[in-house]
Amino acid sequence: MLHLIEVFFLRIYMLIFKGVTAILPFKWPKTFEGADSSLDLVRHISSLGYSRVLIVTDAVLVKLGVLGKMTAELERLGMKYAIYDGVEPNPTVAQIDAGYEVLAKNKSEVILAVGGGSPIDAAKMIGARAKNNKPIVKMTGLFRVYRGMLPLFAVPTTAGTGSEVTIAAVVSDPATRRKLPAMDLKLMPTAAALDSALMVGLPPHITSATGMDALTHAVEAFISNNAMAKTDVRAIEATKLIMSNLETAVFNGSDLTARQNMARASHLAGIAFTQAGVGYVHAIAHKFGALYHTPHGLANAIVMPYVLDYSVDNCASRLAILARECKIGPSGGSDKELALAFIQRIRDMNEKFGIPKQLAALKAQDIPEVAKSALNEARFTYAVPRYMDMNQAQTLIKQLLPA
């Protein structure tokens, strides 16, 4: 009975949350699209009058020469730049503080984030650290970046996170083994470039994991009770683009059309979940990242079918819409049949991409901690179609134990 009362209360709370979200003044970034659009973004930064740029990225991208064309264009335009490449997957408070030191030393006016979700998230918090005189952890939570951040320009090099259009950044705290999300309208980038040419060299396992991350964003946004007509349009388009382009991007990475379509899908899914939210897939995956350093996209891909199985009776009609739009399942099938076919398609994609059914790092003794963390994260944040209690959460997570 207590669980039913709690669910009723959470439904009312999230309905109010939805109303607030619907009227928030989201300011979406100016977006450049197409091969070499990152150079258009660099020229845009210059046109705004900025001359000192901090590039936030990771060491692998620097080694691969991904920044070459952009730094050459910065030099051609007479702009000074410094590079901070200390960001690793699941960026920590220490990494963000180190990036801030580089920014302060070079008196950078703006930040250019180049990479996946980790560099972009780190760049957001570095920019926030520059404008707010308080520790990073004091800016995590809802609407605590009071003074905003430095102007941020984002170039995603993976088609997955959608961080270039979100108001969120996730920080890892190794001391407490937690991931701390910061959410604030002031964390929205100023402009972004969806440059498929930068994604051509991504290996198949990263392309698949990040693509499934984007699919998770689209699906969880669509089945959220906080979904709206404007988020539905973007979530549906993103899902269709992923279903028709991800396999090509994985197995023929040089296909610029597939790469660009995936970049756009990730972007649209990012806009959708920024307003509609995500759900238990993300809540569980975040804890896997904090405990085991599991890449976020991979964790989402592994967890998603299990959470959809658990939720299907409460969102069959919504999943059926996605199935019909993507031409998945039997023609004329019932909502439940189509919903189950859609979930099976996700499992089939995971298998084709070599994504495991279980998480090898998961330990049985950690399951209560994972479950508690997931429930706490989702409780007042995500308008999930079906809530879990502790027993249900642990039962679901046990399915992810390696055989």
Joined together, the tokens standing for residue 333 give: 């099938």
CATH number at 287 reads: 1.20.1090.10
Residue 29 lies in a domain: no
Residue 7 lies in a domain: yes
DSSP string spanning 249-271?
HHH-TT-HHHHHHHHHHHHHHHH
Same domain? For 245 and 181 the reply is no
Q: Which residues pair with 114 in a beta bridge?
A: 155
Same domain? For 13 and 158 the reply is no
Joined together, the tokens standing for residue 199 give: 């994604």
pLDDT of residue 1: 53
141-142 and 152-156 beta bridge pairing: unpaired
Vertex 146 angle, CA 142 and 148, to 5°: 105
Same domain? For 122 and 221 the reply is no
Which one of 198, 233, 261 terminates a domain? 198
CA distance 234 to 222: 9
CA distance 356 to 147: 43
Closest CA to 277 of 223, 215, 339, 343: 223
Note whether 59 and 86 are within 8 A (CB): yes
Which one of 198, 214, 249 terminates a domain? 198
Note whether 297 and 71 are within 8 A (CB): no
Vertex 199 angle, CA 308 and 48, to 5°: 105
pLDDT of residue 83: 98
pLDDT of residue 2: 54
Total number of domains constituting the chain: 2
pLDDT of residue 306: 98
Residue 189 lies in a domain: yes
Same domain? For 211 and 333 the reply is yes
CATH number at 166 reads: 3.40.50.1970
pLDDT of residue 90: 84
Same domain? For 17 and 142 the reply is no
Joined together, the tokens standing for residue 48 give: 């705004």
Residue 152 lies in a domain: yes
Vertex 141 angle, CA 113 and 83, to 5°: 20
Same domain? For 72 and 164 the reply is yes
Same domain? For 370 and 244 the reply is yes
Quote the domain boundaries for residue 215.
2-23+203-398
Same domain? For 185 and 326 the reply is no
Same domain? For 297 and 166 the reply is no
Q: Which residues pair with 170 in a beta bridge?
A: 181
Q: Which residues pair with 142 in a beta bridge?
A: 183
Residue 19 lies in a domain: yes
Residue 28 lies in a domain: no
Closest CA to 64 of 118, 111, 115, 120: 115
CA distance 307 to 252: 30
Same domain? For 144 and 177 the reply is yes
From first to last of the 403 residues of the chain, give the pLDDT tens digit. Answer: 557 888 999 999 999 999 999 999 999 999 999 999 999 999 999 999 999 999 999 999 999 999 999 999 999 999 999 999 999 988 999 999 999 999 999 999 999 999 999 999 999 999 999 999 899 999 998 899 999 999 999 999 999 999 999 999 989 888 887 788 899 999 999 999 999 999 998 999 999 999 999 999 999 999 999 999 999 999 999 999 999 999 999 999 999 999 999 999 999 999 999 999 999 999 999 999 989 989 999 999 999 999 999 999 999 999 999 999 999 999 999 999 999 999 999 999 999 999 999 999 999 999 999 999 999 999 999 999 999 999 999 999 999 999 8
Same domain? For 10 and 122 the reply is no
Note whether 237 and 268 are within 8 A (CB): yes
Residue 101 lies in a domain: yes
Residue 403 lies in a domain: no
Which one of 145, 164, 198 terminates a domain? 198
Same domain? For 216 and 112 the reply is no
